[in-house]
Structure 1
Amino acid sequence: METIQGISSFTNTSFQTAVTIGTFDGVHLGHSKILERLINNAKKTGLKSTVLTFFPHPRMVLQKDTNIKLLNTLEEKKQILEALGLDYLIVHPFTKAFSRLSATDFVRDILVNNLKTKKIIIGYDHRFGRNRNANIQDLITFGTALDFEVEEIPAQEIDDIAVSSTKIRNALLEGDITVANSYLSYNYMLTGSIKKGKGLGKEFGFPTANLHIEENYKLIPKNGVYVVKSILDGKEYFGMMNIGYNPTVAGTEKSIEVNFFDFEGDLYDQKVQVGIIHRIRDEHKFDSVQALKEQLKEDKKTSLSLISK
């Protein structure tokens, strides 16, 4: 898959495309059905499968919604889409100026002239153009005039996508990683760089890697202890992760700390991705550091038992 930053950077002159448009946050099971349809159709017709997405999220720009939380960072979304077999991902900067583009200009200049679109697969409720005043019927009319085909994704599928996205977000906020993963069809992931912490985990016999996530829009699951796995130095490792404030040792800042089992090495300043498999328990304030140490031993036993299953 090739990732293109900005529509103007897509300088293709040798092939035509099959396109779908959207944020595809989470790239969950509902999204995957649409993307598989796009990819299969493109292969059959000799087109290149292309997703046109926008960043920042339109709500961040138009509604100044800085509290919006997304299931994927941009890099995570790229990773998932590439695994599906997509040909091109075009990430276009969403700005107020772009939102004012007329429907005619968007279809003629961007979809037809720039992307060489021959087929668009899009939801029945898709709206576009300035003030979102054009709908799928307008798009079909444009298609007749400008020689591209429109395939409508029916209401049931679009509604299923909305329901799935809501259920995933709610499940993560409630700590129900099993439900979230079942809708995603992959383990919910957190990606960040490892930064130095206070070193308390090492003192307790459970050295931790402190995961710093740069993207403040990334949805972080409910505080608590989780079973996770990662690929480190090309090898799979399991571990347990705490999300929270470390109240037993009077922590004041929220942190994400991972204790990898059987891993020896320096991860500082490295980029690490953890997939969350199970949730063990809530974060608690223990009566003593010794009580916390004993609980960590129990957490590890529980983690290993869940991993073995």
Structure 2
Amino acid sequence: METIQDISHFKGIGHQTAITIGTFDGVHLGHRKILERLINDAKSSGLKSTVLTFFPHPRMVLQKDADIQLLNTLEEKKQILARMGLDYLIVHPFTKKFSRLSATEFVRDILVNSLKAKKIIIGYDHRFGRNRNANIQDLIAFGNTLDFEVEEIPVQEIDEVSVSSTKIRKALLEGDIVTANDYLNYPYMLTGTITKGKGLGKQFGFPTANLHIAEDYKLIPKNGVYVVQSEIQGKQYHGMMNIGFNPTVSGTEKSIEINFFDFDGNLYGQKIQVGLLHRIRDEHKFETVDELQRQLKKDRNHSLELISK
């Protein structure tokens, strides 16, 4: 998959495209139906499968007070789409100026002239152009004039996508990682850089790597202890991760700390990705550090049991 930043850089490519448009946050099972149809249709028609997405998310620009939480960072989304076999991902900067393009300008100048669209696969409820005043019937009319085909995604499939996104966010905020992963069809991921913490975990016999996530829009699941997996230096490791405030040691700032099993090395400054597999308990304040240590040993044994299954 080739990722292209900004539509204007999609030049000199002598292929016509099959395109779908959307944010595809999470790239979950509902999205995959649409994307697989796009990829298969493109192959059978001799076209290049292309996703046009936007960053920042339009709500970040048009509703600056929107407390938006996304399932994927942009980099995570790129990884997932690349694995699906997409030909092109075009990430266009969303600005207020771009939002003011008329429907005609968007279809003629962007989709047809710039992106060489020969087929557009889109939902029945898709709206576009200035003030979102054009709909799929307008797109079909443009297609008749500008020589491209429009395939409408049925209401049932669009509703599935909407429901899936809502259910995934709700499940994560409730700590139901199993349901979220079922809808995503992959372990929910957190990607960040390992930073130095207070070193308290090492004193307890459970050294932790502190994960700093730069993207403040990334949805962080409910506080608690999770079983996780990560690829480090080409090898898979499991561990347990705490999201929360470390109340037993009077923590005041929220942190994400991972104790990797059977890993002995320095991760400071490294960027890693963690997949969440299970949630095993809430975060608790223990009366003593000894109590906390005993619980951590139980957590480790419980985690290893879940991993072995």
Q: Which residue number corresponds to residue 283 of structure 1?
A: 283
Query: Is residue 130 from structure 1 mapped to residue 130 from structure 2 by the alignment?
Result: yes
Cα deviation for residue 152 of structure 1 reads 0.1
Name the CA distance, whole Å, in 2 between partners of 1:285 and 1:94.
44
> Residue 72 of structure 2 aligns to which amino acid in structure 1?
N
Deviates more, 1:200-209 or 1:9-18: 9-18
1:58-81 CA distances to partner (integer Å, 9 max, x unpaired)?
111111135200000000000000
Aligned mates of 2:166, 2:269 — CA distance in 1: 34
Counterpart-to-counterpart distance in 1, 2:233 and 2:204? 25
1:166 matched to which residue of 2?
166
CA distance in 1, matches of 2:31, 2:12: 26
CA distances 1:154-185 after superposition (whole Å, capped 9, x unpaired): 00000011000000000000000000000000
Taking only aligned residues, the RMSD between alpha carbons, in angstroms, comes to 0.6
1:99 matched to which residue of 2? Answer: 99
Residue number in structure 1 paired with 2:299: 299
Partner of 2:34: 34
Q: Which residue of 1 aligns with 2:86?
A: 86
State the alpha-carbon separation in 1 of the partners of residues 265 and 6 from structure 2: 39
Which residue identity lines up with residue 229 of structure 1 in the other structure? Q
Partner of 1:75: 75
Counterpart of 2:117 in structure 1 is: 117
CA distance in 2, matches of 1:263, 1:86: 35
Number of matched pairs: 309
Q: Would the aligned equivalents of 1:5 and 1:91 in 2 still touch at CA under 8 Å? A: yes
1:79 maps to a residue whose letter is Q
Q: Once the two structures are aligned, what percentage of the paired residues are identical?
A: 79
- CA distance, structure 2, for counterparts of residue 45 and residue 267 of structure 1: 47
| Partner of residue 59, structure 1 | 59
Summarize the Cα distance change of 1:209–1:158 in structure 2 as closer, same or farther, 3 Å threshold: same
Pairs within 5 Å for 1:1-309: 1-309=1-309
What is the DSSP-based 3-state SS (H/G/I as helix, E as strand, rest coil) of the residue aligned with 2:34?
A: helix
**3-state DSSP class of the match of 2:239?**
strand
Q: CA deviation at 1:250?
A: 0.2
* Alpha-carbon separation, structure 1, partners of 2:12 and 2:189: 33
**Cα offset, 1:28, TM superposition:** 0.2
Q: Secondary structure at the match of 1:24?
A: coil
Q: Within 2, Cα distance between the matches of 1:305 and 1:13?
A: 52
Q: Is the 1:12–1:115 contact (alpha carbons within 8 Å) kept by the matching residues of 2?
A: no
Q: Tell me the amino acid that sits aligned with residue 89 of structure 1.
A: L
2:117 counterpart letter in structure 1:
T
Distance 1:270 1:70 in 2: 23
The secondary structure found in structure 1 opposite 2:15 is: coil
TM-score norm. by structure 2 comes to 0.99
Shift of 1:254: 0.2
Q: Which amino acid aligns with 1:9?
A: H
Distance 1:300 1:159 in 2: 40
User: Which amino acid counterpart does residue 169 of structure 1 have in structure 2?
Assistant: R
CA-to-aligned-CA distance 1:31-89 (integer Å, 9 cap, x gap)? 00000000000111110000000011111111113520000000000000000000000
Q: TM-score scaled to structure 1, two decimals?
A: 0.99
Structure 2 distance, partners of 1:156, 1:249, is: 50
- CA shift digits 1:183-204 (9 cap, x unpaired): 0000000000000000000000
Q: Distance in 2 between matches of 1:297 and 1:66?
A: 41
Q: Deviations over 1:1-57 (max 9, x none)?
A: 010000001113411000000000000000000000000001111100000000111
Deviations 1:233-262, CA, capped at 9 Å, x for gaps: 100000000000000000000000000000
Question: What stretches of structure 1 move > 2 A for 4+ residues in a row?
Answer: none
